[in-house]
Amino acid sequence: MEETAGTLVAGLFRTQAGHLTARLARLLGPGKLDEAEEIVQSALTKALHVWPRSGIPDNPAGWLWRAARNEAVDGLRRRRFSAPVTPADLAESLADERAGMNDPRFAAELADEKLGLIFACCHPVLPLESRVALTLRSVCGLGTGQIARAFLLPEPTIGQRITRAKARLVDMKVPFAIPAGDALPERLEAVLGTLYLMFNEGVGSSDGEDLIQGDLVCDALHLARQLADHPVTGRPEAEAMAALTCLTAARLPARQDADGLPVLLADQDRSLWHKGLIAAGFRHLRASMSGPAETRWHLEAAIAAAHAMAPAWAATDRPYIVQLYDRLVHLCPGPVTLLNRAVAIAERDGPAAGLAALTPLEGDGLIARYPLFTVTKAAFLERLGDRTLAAEQLRHALDQAERIGMNQPDRRMLLLRLDRLSE
Amino acid sequence: MAKFVLILREDPATFASLSPDEMQAIVAEYQSWGQRLGEAGKMAGGEKLRDEGGRHVTAKSGTLLATDGPYAEAKEVIGGFFIVEATDYAEAETLVADCPHIRYGLIEIRQVDEMCG
């Protein structure tokens, strides 16, 4: 107790849990994700028991690795599980004093293992929502409770999803490795789709108390950049995803006002945008143009870049953004893309044109039930001067929010706008 | 000042369900609790006991009998102890009031009988 206690870097347990799970999964072989996680959990529990009384060790990460090594070797000796490695191999691979230090070779090994684990967790044999849950649990070290809160689902539902997904990985003998050759593009697409969903939920929660969920944003951003920076996975589409996440996340410091209310892009204080992330985003964007393909990630990144480049809202290149949306609609014609395109058209040609661009969506049962659609319509009507109809739409959007869900800051904003219209 | 032993009783399964973030938060909380007590000159020692249980020894039946004892599967084990300085039980209770352990287990406070020392 007397010794000067070390301090803990924020997120250290979570980061090391991810690293250790990735390495153990590779060492223990396909189907052993449960065993890997169990070992990591006991190593963390050991720290929880020991550190409060002994003080925090000088190299906390190295300590966790030693604890995991002892646990793993012990498990193998007692045949609690089998593995294609001997206890001695296991001990050697996990005995790493470099954990937590800035050793580039160690970091490179870990990056390989971590990406291998992501490719398994995002395997196309798993449903998309299970991929997200499993990635957050195994790669990012989030607890089932945290994932359940992030997606506003009961904890047992998330737990079940993860258990089933792991069982499926065992059945399909999915290896924990970066896929090679022809298999890579399709598998990479599955990973990118997963990260996109994770990132979007982080940037704008579909429900709950918070507008932004920092954990999800940081994790998705970090993983996207790791994919982009890796020599095998760093294909143009991975670079595009990294650009999209960097350029979008860069705006988040300006996304909420002092009261926590959402601030629209048009009203954001651009001096608050994160310059480092914007620079990184443009580097990834340039790298994404090394191939002939134009994916949806390229187009979405280009739209984010067009906003990032504009010194002010009024100086935004609106015709170019509409063009990008036209190409995006051609590539993946979904109602959400059409809704965003209508917003871009309204910026270029005025609210009447925006309203007209929404009309084909009225018949789409799914999107027309979404509050975002109704709120957008209300904004166009308000700009056209029709306050009564706009207010009616906002009330309608509030009803929809009750049924479908909406985060509290967005809901408060809706109420404020409704108040202003009724004055 | 009298010495009090804080015996930390816990269910080994309690911590198994926590997420890495939650565990780190508890470690940090524990650390600052220990530091506060140390700075106030109230902390006199403490040890963690090994998890794998220990041995129970008795000669009550006339012969020496040693058995393995409490396993990690037990509902409650003693995970460790602290020794603190306090004037009385009331103060000792105040000292543990913000110890994170009480949210996950139970702390038994016993005064050291220094008459014998």
Q: What is the pLDDT of residues A340-381, one digit of tens each?
A: 999 999 999 999 999 999 998 888 777 877 888 999 999 999
Domain that residue B42 falls in: 2-116
Q: Which pLDDT score, from 0 to 100, does residue A82 have?
A: 82
Q: Is B30 at the interface with chain A, CB within 8 A?
A: yes
Of the pLDDT bands very low, low, confident and very high (cuts 50, 70, 90), residue B88 is very high
Task: Please indicate whether, in this complex, the C-beta atoms of A1 and B21 are within 8 angstroms of each other.
Answer: no
Set of chain B residues whose Cβ sits within 8 Å of the Cβ of A48? 15, 18, 23, 26-27
Structural domain spans, chain A: 1-100
Say how far apart CA A203 and CA A225 lie, in whole Å. 17
CATH number at residue B67: 3.30.70.1060
Task: Specify which of A53-62, A235-244, A413-422, B36-45 reaches the highest per-range mean pLDDT.
Answer: A235-244
Of the pLDDT bands very low, low, confident and very high (cuts 50, 70, 90), residue B73 is low
Please tell me which residue of chain A has the smallest CA distance to B45. A1
* Nearest chain A Cα distance for residue B103, angstroms: 14
Q: Which pLDDT score, from 0 to 100, does residue B72 have?
A: 55
Task: Please indicate whether, in this complex, the C-beta atoms of B35 and A5 are within 8 angstroms of each other.
Answer: yes
Question: Does residue B117 have a pLDDT over 80?
Answer: no
Residues A145-183 as b or e (16 or more Cβ within 10 Å = b)? bbbbbbbeeeeeebbebbeebbebbeeeebbbbbbeeee
Mutate to test the interface with B, among A19, A51, A219 (most CBs of B within 10 A): A51
Q: Which carries the bigger pLDDT value, residue A253 or residue A101? A: A253
Question: Does residue A5 have a pLDDT over 60?
Answer: no
Task: Report H helices in A310-386.
Answer: 318-331, 335-349, 351-362, 365-368, 371-383
Q: Which two tokens stand for residue A407?
A: 């985060």
Q: Which of A163-177, A311-325, A371-385, B67-81 has the lowest mean pLDDT?
A: B67-81
CB-neighbour burial class of residue A384 (10 A; exposed 0-12, middle 13-18, buried 19+): middle
CB-neighbour burial class of residue B23 (10 A; exposed 0-12, middle 13-18, buried 19+): buried
Set of chain B residues whose Cβ sits within 8 Å of the Cβ of A56? 27, 31
Mutate to test the interface with B, among A12, A15, A38, A48 (most CBs of B within 10 A): A48
State mean pLDDT over A196-224.
Answer: 91
- List the single residue in B16, B26, B46 with the smallest CB-CB distance to A1: B46
The helix (run of H) or strand (run of E) holding residue B45 is strand B43-48
* A·B CB contacts under 8 A: 78
Count of domains in chain B?
A: 1
Give Cα separations from B3 to A24, A121, A183, A332, A412 (angstroms). Answer: 45, 53, 67, 72, 55
Question: Does residue A103 have a pLDDT over 90?
Answer: no
State mean pLDDT over A260-266.
Answer: 95
Task: Please indicate whether, in this complex, the C-beta atoms of A47 and B27 are within 8 angstroms of each other.
Answer: yes
Q: Which of A63-72, B20-29, B69-78 has the lowest mean pLDDT?
A: B69-78
- List the single residue in A2, A41, A141 with the smallest CB-CB distance to B16: A41
Q: Enumerate chain A positions whose Cβ falls within 8 A of a Cβ in B.
A: 1-2, 5, 8, 11-14, 16-17, 41, 44-54, 56, 141-146
